[in-house]
Structure 1
């Protein structure tokens, strides 16, 4: 169905994802809305949304969204469309001279991160604490960036920020920090430095074991609409959410097409078969209730790490009109 000249025009910003592509091409449209989509890096989207509310609809960090929900004055209304999900055991690195052989050895060390409160860090710190006795207060944290939202660090937590000429990879390789929690592979490791190792050497096995035991597929990003936009166009939220769900379904169908692969992965059909065996047909699920266990774990970690002043109910993250979808 084509757009009407009377449809409200809303700006939107998302990462470059297969689950957004049908919206970009017009194969899927949000009913009654002219959605003008920009494709940007998630980091840029979060910065521009958190500092300037630049888009009507946008991908959003779950860490930042939880923080804003906890303030009681959230400028955004959430949708349980989870554009990014990722296991994070692979993001734990150590300098080989640090004495860190296993996750339990991280306590009392100097650990570099990109930013306190970013969702990837929330998840891995929470998992390390819950499963390996990690004490975030025992650590001297070294962060590349200040948080994008004004988070208060947990009491008795020590953190310093890198100087302009410092970078995480160099600090890790030189031993200036003992370890790093970083979702992007640090340059020193990517370049084969013998001074740096993963703390979970077979991180894929660790992640599979984690999922088999917990049933949790960590959620990184959701989608939000500015609250003032929602007040002007109250029906738009549910219509956009439905369009996001349709786009996701189309992307999942494309991945299962063994005739002409939709992704440049040589053994794609076999990988998809394994994914469905492990996760089920709805292996990248949207919806609040479908993801209650994952979301409850996330808000627990967010509270433990100072992002929220109290433990949130997951219903506080998403508008009631899209909670059941």
Structure 2
């Protein structure tokens, strides 16, 4: 009986990863222990600080900082999580904020400065709406996945353990919050808190049609030692993630799986706007554009000391022309 390489994989519990979690898809030569119970920020911190997992879904922004600091991690061009960010900018309704330019000179809370959601939205606010990140006072709640030294001119402070940016926004101690999730006061219907863009979906569609970017949130990180000791692992993992995504996307075409009255209509509208595979892996033209943009924001905002090229960031997974195609 052949022996497989045991690897731990920490990731989110996503439909496009279901086949890996349930064992329907198994990477050739690899036995995965799949861990899905952690929240994202915990998973990222534990992987980057302690290297507790062999493979982990990882914050794209934190990965850029980690590579800039030459930590022993690398990544595959697998992007398990993407999300438009306009719907996650929240304002205090008593501060007279009506449009993005009203954020200039304000005090804005973030979960941590290096969170990918914040990096994307700060870059979008600066380049699409004229809100320079250095003309805002930033207040972070958590420590960073990878520590960095804020550059001169960046106004950044960190809250004590017993304070939260969500509560401070509701109380008026912050003017706005950029978050990776829906914040508690908003979910609870607190009238003191609202979205910056009430029709955020229309704004996100407009942004996509202008830029072609569906923001990449997470990449697939690996310990460098795994790649050095077993150079065949990256391609086999890439193939397995591609297979799992193909199965997941085909399964989700069935409207009977989801208790939403107009699910199929939403699925078709997504395809009409974003194309047939919005969750595309690899370094094709659309993904390169998104990742180059994110790397530029990271350098511009002082998280990475140089602009990192994609060839340094992602392991090669090419199997040769017309080779390695997965079919079901």
Normalised by the size of structure 2, how large is the TM-score?
0.93
The residue aligned with 1:44 is 42
The residue aligned with 1:284 is 279
CA contact (8 A) 1:12 1:57 kept: yes
Change (3 A) 1:48 1:323: farther
The residue aligned with 1:321 is 317
CA contact (8 A) 1:22 1:247 kept: yes
Query: Unpaired runs of 5+ in structure 2?
Result: none
The question of 1:220 aligning with 2:217 is answered yes
Inter-partner Cα distance in structure 2 for 1:167 and 1:323: 47
Inter-partner Cα distance in structure 2 for 1:42 and 1:16: 11
Inter-partner Cα distance in structure 2 for 1:138 and 1:210: 23
Q: 2:155 aligns with which of 148, 154, 158?
A: 158
The question of 1:175 aligning with 2:172 is answered yes
Change (3 A) 1:15 1:75: same
CA contact (8 A) 1:59 1:221 kept: yes
Deviation at 1:182, TM superposition (A): 1.1
Inter-partner Cα distance in structure 1 for 2:263 and 2:234: 34
- Deviation per CA, 1:265-295: give whole Å up to 9, x if none: 3322111111111112122111112411111
Map 1:54-203 to 2 at 5 A. 54-71=52-69, 73-203=70-200
Q: What secondary structure sits across from 1:183 in the alignment?
A: coil
The residue aligned with 1:269 is 264
CA contact (8 A) 1:77 1:318 kept: yes
Aligned residues: 319
Normalised by the size of structure 1, how large is the TM-score?
0.94
Deviation at 1:77, TM superposition (A): 1.8
Inter-partner Cα distance in structure 2 for 1:322 and 1:269: 34
Deviation at 1:152, TM superposition (A): 2.0
CA contact (8 A) 2:106 2:175 kept: yes
The residue aligned with 2:235 is 238
The residue aligned with 2:298 is 302
